[in-house]
Amino acid sequence: MREKSTTLYIGPQHPGITGNMMVKLQVEGDTVVKAETHVGYLHRGFEKLMERRNWLQSFTIVCRICVPEPDPNEENYARAVEEIEGREVPERAKYIRVMTLELARIASYLLWYGGQAGSAGLYTMPQWSVGDRNYILDLFEDLTGGRIYHMYIWPGGVRRDLPKGFKDKALKTMDYLEKRIDEYDKLLFENSIFQKRAKGVGIIDKNKAIEWGVVGAPLRGCGIKSDVRIDDPYEVYDKLDFEVPAMEGGDVWTRALIRRFEIRQSINIVRQTLEKMPGGEFYNKIPNPMKWKIPAGDAYVKTESARGEFAYYVVSDGTNKPRRVHVKGPAYVHGVTLLENLLVGENISDVSFIMNSLGTCPPEIER
Amino acid sequence: MTDTLNKENKLLEVLKEEFKLLSGKVKRSRRVEVVIENEQIIPILLFAKERLNYIHFSHMSCVDWIEEGKFEVIYILWSPEEKINLLIKTKVAREGEDLPNIDFIWRQANTYEREIREMYGLPFDGLVGREEFILEDWDEIPPMRRDFITNEYVSETYFEREGREDAKDVREQILGRTDEKLPDFAKKYSRD
Amino acid sequence: MAYDNNSQKIVDYIQNFARKHSLFVLAYGTGCGAIEIPPTMTSRYDAERFGIRGAATPRQADVLLITGYLATKTLKRVIRTYEQMQDPKYVIAFGSCTINGGMYWDSYNTINMLDKYIPVDVYINGCMPRPEAVISGFVKLQDEIQAGRADGWKKYQDNLEEYRANQKKIIKNWTMPDFNW
Amino acid sequence: MEDIGYKIFGAFLTTVLAFVVGMFYGGFRRKIIARIQNRVGPPVYQNFLDVMKLLSKKTAVHHGIMQQLAPLWLITMSIVTLMFIPVLKDGLFFTNLNFSGDIIFLLYMMVFGSLGMALGAGQTGNPNSAIGVTRGLIQMVGFEIPWIMALVALMVQYKTTSVTGLLDIQSQSGTWMMFSSPFAFIAALLAMPGMFRYSPFDIVGAPAELASGPVSEFGGKYLSLMMTSGSIFAFVKLTLIVDLFLGGASNLIELVIKTFILYMYPVLWGAISPRFRTEQAVKYFWGWPLFFGVIALAFATF
């Protein structure tokens, strides 16, 4: 006898959903038989707004595309504009950019720690990691003046130099975090219940992964070494020393292990940039932004964000406003086709768990 | 510099032999751009995927060139081995023409196509999927077309709080400045 | 039964005191402001000190926290959610974009003034407001509740036609059940 | 006549005591968990404010009679269960209505409340509630088996089915049941967190999965009744275990100390563990707890 299937809506108002989106599930018993992602609850029409704003005004908008980690957006946009215009960026600015990106990655991973554990019902973990994330945000506040939206990496360099005493403070924070991450390991990764929950859940097929468009940590969790920082090095990543992990498995547990490894790598990179940072100018001055025209052309740039490859396709038509800025976040694929595929056959308990492990962030899907 | 672009040039050569390219160039290292007629989209995508191993479909975008009356659609592929992004561009008329559906080659193209269909009103031949992807009950012209003026729509539809109009004055003021340099925010507000 | 003003006052005082110190916030991240809610709730800022805690469903919640801009698609859900909440209910609007559209004032898909669609008790401005600002907004709401001034829900009942007209102007396909108490 | 007066007054006192103690335990739980999580946490009396506030809310949800009766059913069952538990060993007010067959009766009563809740939640029509109820019943099947085995082992071993009888045996022999029949105690202790439904067994109302499960559609006064009943029931469970295994209590201070220490065990476990999936929870209960239950039974019989 066939069980009757029920429709279950997860979201948009649901504590388990990441952000503001909806997953419509067909459920038989406890098992999902069909999943459908509904997005559009956060659509602001950024790409339309950028058509109306000039190049510098658009720069204040791009960071709002992805809230947990705005810096890859800024960096992407700035780099695309520089590539079209042919503007040079001082070496120091590049180092500062890399440092900012890595700090943002750490902050994003700390938020992920919270989300992953919270969706599994371990509420102590978000309290710790989101609390510790504030220390990174403090660094950002010192550096840029803003906790969440920094608007710091702009075309031609960065907006301001490192404040006095920043290096010491940053290094101290890194030391503190490294200690804390060991404690997180005890709470989360050594926890047998978490291991039971995470192993064998939400498996991505290794052979299909690249074709499906999987990027970032989920792809590395399938055993495929792929990272924009090595494949298509930008800024000064080719001068830094870091490892990119790849582990076989493809389930939530492997993705978690990858992130656990990468957060340590990021801490390491921040230390390196602080050590190696040369002196000199930190930005290449742009002309009066109202009259600042970019020659016609287009550029496709990408950055490795905490959730995967973040790509910008920017087209200029020679005026002082961008013709088209198209943003593709990792969640554009992860949150729609991949999620719809992965959820089939899983337990309802794991829906939110899998979403968190993929890092589904709806503002990237609809912008 | 020429040595480092070997891979890219080779790819361009291969594509030139197989297909009638409208134009093709190496933009920079790891970026190759070709322009092609829109009938040849499926052949070139299949060729790139099956023969050249460009198996990762990274991006698909659309630009509205209203002056020419055309949409430009860009398919961006990535080869994990060669580590090259291949940009395939094609143009299609804004009204009356459609593009082939490619979601049987890459499943995730379906999402991009649905978005482009919704935001630009560009139909894809044989595309299956819910009509509404991002917008809900939208009955204006598709919003990403350049002839859709968003601020006019806003002033008709939504309420505006008083005081908002100030922003415009500041903008004209800055624009009125001739030869004046941008205030040096970076140095002015740095703390040391 | 003595039902004079004084006894009513005492009842009101006790009610308001309890309401003030126990605010269940609906877990609904409507916009990008949702990113500052976890820091507000967690260890450094710890909003639970003030009796603020999350509630999973609208039936149990007291406060609807509108975290940022509302796309029209979300507005429909927000109205639905707001109407499902039980009286007395409060709305805290968070971020500049709920006040006047903020950054997105010319976006075709986001509303500009939230208080035209649902009554707002406290606005917190900023993009993003810091957790301190959020907590101060909550404290302001507590003061309003104690003083008996946080009566957005009454306003909504009294001016339902006006709110409905505004809402229907944006939401073209109105398929929601009618609001009944 | 005087006797009945005492009984009624005692019943009232017991209910108030259970409510106050249960509420404060809830408050301490929130406070202690907050301290583990590096923060200050709400005041200890926060739960009273929550209940007061929920009572002052207007309620305008009507899904049907059963939905409105469910919270009442729940609280009635909690209080009725409380009535049959000797809170203190030989106090004037707190021994209540226990009689010779009451362990079996209690086993039945403790399930009964959840059953009413299940009916009520089923009527709300919310799919989350329905799934939550199913999970709750599955989980109950999980923990009830080792728990009943532990109690049956006690009953077989000491040839009595009354809580007072077991209390008398403990005070006569001078050793607590947890030492004289350790396997039953271990089985009961391992099954106990399932009854409290804190992490890792909070699968019924798991927020990230089912909003809040069966209670999703209950707000305002219904929710306040549920919270009240929940805190009374927590006290009931703690007192019962203290009576059965920890030698009961002869005064209120002893009772509070014993129950609080016992209460800390599910709370602290909950603070550091994620949630089981439903089938994992059942697997857990049918693993070691069941094993110890069987051993206890064998130990008692032979």
Q: Do B136 and C101 touch (CB under 8 A)?
A: no
Spatial distance between the Cα atoms of D151 and D240, rounded to a whole number of angstroms: 11
Give the residue-averaged pLDDT of B19-36: 82
Give the three-state DSSP class for A157. Answer: strand
Q: How many domains does one find in chain D?
A: 1
Count how many pairs of residues, chain C against chain D, have C-beta atoms within 8 Å.
89
Closest CA to A206 of B83, B80, B85, B86: B80
Q: Tokens 């001078």: give the residue.
A: D174
pLDDT of residue D93: 61
CA distance, residue B14 to nearest chain A CA (Å): 22
Q: What is the pLDDT of residues C79-110, one digit of tens each?
A: 888 888 888 889 888 888 888 877 888 888 88
Spatial distance between the Cα atoms of A227 and A233, rounded to a whole number of angstroms: 9
CA distance, residue A192 to nearest chain B CA (Å): 36
Q: Say if residue D107 is exposed, middle or buried (CB neighbours under 10 Å; 0-12, 13-18, 19+).
A: middle
Closest CA to A262 of A225, A235, A232, A297: A225
Buried-state track B23-48, b at ≥16 Cβ within 10 A, e below 16: ebebbeebbbbbbbebebbeebbebb
Report yes or no: D220 at the C interface, CB cutoff 8 Å: yes
In terms of residue numbers, what domain contains C158? 20-170
Residues contacting D114, CB < 8 A, separation 6+: D136, D137, D140
Angle at D180 between CA D177 and CA D186, to 5 degrees: 70
Q: What is the pLDDT of residues D6-19, one digit of tens each?
A: 777 777 888 888 88
Give the residue-averaged pLDDT of A79-101: 87
A90-104, B19-33, C115-129, D144-158: least confidently modelled range: B19-33
Give the residue-averaged pLDDT of D78-98: 73
Query: What are A21's two structure tokens?
Result: 């989106």
- For residue A13, the chain C residues in CB contact (below 8 A) are 26-28, 57-58, 77, 81
Number of alpha carbons in the 13 Å side-chain half-sphere of residue C106: 17
**Structural domains of chain B sorted by starting position, each given as residue range(s) with its CATH number in brackets:** 6-176 (3.30.460.80)
Report yes or no: A176 at the D interface, CB cutoff 8 Å: no
CA distance, residue D236 to nearest chain C CA (Å): 26
Residues contacting A216, CB < 8 A, separation 6+: A304, A305, A306, A307, A308, A309, A330, A359
Which phi and psi angles does B17 have, rounded to 5°? -65, -40
Spatial distance between the Cα atoms of C103 and A41, rounded to a whole number of angstroms: 17
Q: What is the pLDDT of residues C102-119, one digit of tens each?
A: 788 888 888 888 888 888
Q: Do A337 and B185 touch (CB under 8 A)?
A: no
pLDDT of residue B190: 44
Comparing A141 with B151, the larger pLDDT belongs to A141
Q: Do A300 and B87 touch (CB under 8 A)?
A: yes
Angle at C39 between CA C35 and CA C41, to 5 degrees: 110
> Do residues A95 and A269 lie in contact, with contact meaning Cβ atoms separated by under 8 Å?
no
> Do residues A12 and C77 lie in contact, with contact meaning Cβ atoms separated by under 8 Å?
yes
Closest CA to B109 of B56, B174, B179, B64: B56
Number of alpha carbons in the 13 Å side-chain half-sphere of residue D252: 9
Give the residue-averaged pLDDT of A7-20: 79
Please name the helix (run of DSSP H) or strand (run of DSSP E) that holds residue B28, with its range, or none: strand B23-28
* Bridge partners (DSSP) listed for residue B23: B35
Spatial distance between the Cα atoms of B76 and B86, rounded to a whole number of angstroms: 6
pLDDT of residue B187: 47
pLDDT of residue A3: 56
Query: What are D244's two structure tokens?
Result: 């059965």
- For residue D41, the chain C residues in CB contact (below 8 A) are 46, 48-49
B191 pLDDT tier (thresholds 50, 70, 90): very low
Is residue A66 over pLDDT 50?
Answer: yes
Q: Do C38 and A147 touch (CB under 8 A)?
A: no
Give the residue-averaged pLDDT of D190-214: 80
- For residue B139, the chain C residues in CB contact (below 8 A) are 172
Q: Do C116 and B139 touch (CB under 8 A)?
A: no
Share of chain D above pLDDT 70, in %: 95
Interface test with A, best of D273, D276, D282, D284 (most A CBs within 10 A): D273
B175 pLDDT tier (thresholds 50, 70, 90): low
> Do residues D226 and D54 lie in contact, with contact meaning Cβ atoms separated by under 8 Å?
no
- For residue A348, the chain D residues in CB contact (below 8 A) are 131, 209-210
- Chain B contacts to C (CB-CB under 8 A): 135-137, 139-140, 143, 148, 150-151, 153-154, 157-161, 163-164
Q: Do A336 and B136 touch (CB under 8 A)?
A: no
> Do residues A244 and A229 lie in contact, with contact meaning Cβ atoms separated by under 8 Å?
yes
Is residue A342 over pLDDT 80?
Answer: yes
pLDDT of residue B192: 41
Averaged pLDDT score across all residues of chain B: 78
- For residue A352, the chain D residues in CB contact (below 8 A) are 208-209
CA distance, residue B143 to nearest chain C CA (Å): 8
Spatial distance between the Cα atoms of A310 and A295, rounded to a whole number of angstroms: 24
Closest CA to C67 of C107, C126, C117: C126
Query: What are D94's two structure tokens?
Result: 């707190």
CATH of the domain at C130: 3.40.50.12280
Q: What is the pLDDT of residues D104-135, one digit of tens each?
A: 888 888 887 778 778 887 777 778 888 888 88
Which phi and psi angles does B14 have, rounded to 5°? -60, -45
Residue of A nearest to B182 (CA): A288
CB count in 10 Å sphere of residue A178: 14
Is residue D23 over pLDDT 50?
Answer: yes
Spatial distance between the Cα atoms of A109 and A263, rounded to a whole number of angstroms: 7
Indicate the residue of C35, C43, C77 with minimum beta-carbon distance to A148: C35
Report yes or no: D125 at the A interface, CB cutoff 8 Å: no
Averaged pLDDT score across all residues of chain A: 85
Report yes or no: D161 at the A interface, CB cutoff 8 Å: no
Spatial distance between the Cα atoms of D275 and A40, rounded to a whole number of angstroms: 31
Closest CA to D191 of D50, D292, D297, D115: D292
Spatial distance between the Cα atoms of D187 and D200, rounded to a whole number of angstroms: 17
Concatenate the DSSP letters of all residues of B81-133 into one string: TT--EEEEEEEEESSS--EE--TTT-TTHHHHHHHHHHHH---EET--S-S-S
Residue of D nearest to C53 (CA): D42
Q: Side chain identity at D133, as an amino acid letter?
A: V
> Do residues D177 and D184 lie in contact, with contact meaning Cβ atoms separated by under 8 Å?
yes
Spatial distance between the Cα atoms of D280 and D282, rounded to a whole number of angstroms: 5
pLDDT of residue B183: 54
A315-319, C17-21, D90-94: least confidently modelled range: D90-94
Angle at A339 between CA A338 and CA A344, to 5 degrees: 105
Q: Do C43 and D39 touch (CB under 8 A)?
A: yes
Q: What is the pLDDT of residues D30-82, one digit of tens each?
A: 899 888 888 888 888 888 888 888 888 887 777 778 778 888 888 888 888 88
Is residue B167 over pLDDT 60?
Answer: no
| CA-CA-CA-CA torsion sign (D172, D176, D182, D184) | positive
Q: How many domains does one find in chain C?
A: 1
Q: Do C107 and B154 touch (CB under 8 A)?
A: yes
Is residue A287 over pLDDT 80?
Answer: no
- For residue B137, the chain C residues in CB contact (below 8 A) are 171-173
Residue C60 lies inside a defined structural domain of this protein? yes
Classify domain A6-366 at the CATH topology level: Cytochrome-c3 Hydrogenase; chain B (1.10.645)
Query: What are A294's two structure tokens?
Result: 């970019």
B165 pLDDT tier (thresholds 50, 70, 90): low
Concatenate the DSSP letters of all residues of D147-205 into one string: HHHHHHHHHHHHT---HHHHHHHHHHH-S-HHHHSHHHHHHHHHHHHHHHT-TTS--SS
ipTM score of complex: 0.85
Give the three-state DSSP class for A326. Answer: strand
CA distance, residue B87 to nearest chain C CA (Å): 30
Q: What is the pLDDT of residues A180-222, one digit of tens each?
A: 888 888 888 888 888 888 888 888 888 888 888 888 888 888 8
CA distance, residue B18 to nearest chain A CA (Å): 23
Spatial distance between the Cα atoms of D28 and D25, rounded to a whole number of angstroms: 5
Give the residue-averaged pLDDT of D210-229: 82
In terms of residue numbers, what domain contains D176? 2-301
Q: Do A20 and C56 touch (CB under 8 A)?
A: no
pLDDT of residue A1: 42
Interface test with C, best of B119, B130, B136, B149 (most C CBs within 10 A): B136
Spatial distance between the Cα atoms of D275 and D266, rounded to a whole number of angstroms: 13
Residue of A nearest to B184 (CA): A285
Report yes or no: C88 at the D interface, CB cutoff 8 Å: yes
- Total-model pTM: 0.88
> Do residues B80 and B56 lie in contact, with contact meaning Cβ atoms separated by under 8 Å?
yes
Q: Checking DSSP bridges between strand A6-10 and strand A31-38, what pairing results, if any?
A: unpaired
Q: Do B110 and A302 touch (CB under 8 A)?
A: no
B1 pLDDT tier (thresholds 50, 70, 90): very low
Q: Do C48 and D30 touch (CB under 8 A)?
A: yes
Q: Do D212 and C15 touch (CB under 8 A)?
A: no
pLDDT of residue D129: 82
> Do residues A204 and A218 lie in contact, with contact meaning Cβ atoms separated by under 8 Å?
yes
Which phi and psi angles does D69 have, rounded to 5°? -80, -25
Put simply, the chain C residues between 8 and 27 with a CB less than 8 A from any chain D CB are 14-15, 17-19, 21-22, 27
The length of chain C, given as a count of residues: 181
Spatial distance between the Cα atoms of D68 and D61, rounded to a whole number of angstroms: 9
Report yes or no: D46 at the C interface, CB cutoff 8 Å: yes
D164 pLDDT tier (thresholds 50, 70, 90): confident
Spatial distance between the Cα atoms of B41 and B22, rounded to a whole number of angstroms: 13
CA distance, residue D280 to nearest chain A CA (Å): 8
Against chain C, the chains showing at least 3 CB pairs within 8 Å are A, B, D
| CA-CA-CA-CA torsion sign (C64, C70, C71, C76) | positive
Give the residue-averaged pLDDT of A39-64: 84
Is residue A326 over pLDDT 80?
Answer: yes
Q: Do D206 and A351 touch (CB under 8 A)?
A: no
Which phi and psi angles does A326 have, rounded to 5°? -110, 125
CB count in 10 Å sphere of residue B99: 21
Residue of A nearest to D36 (CA): A124
- For residue A164, the chain B residues in CB contact (below 8 A) are 191-192
Report yes or no: C176 at the D interface, CB cutoff 8 Å: no
Is residue D90 over pLDDT 80?
Answer: no
* Bridge partners (DSSP) listed for residue B35: B23, B89
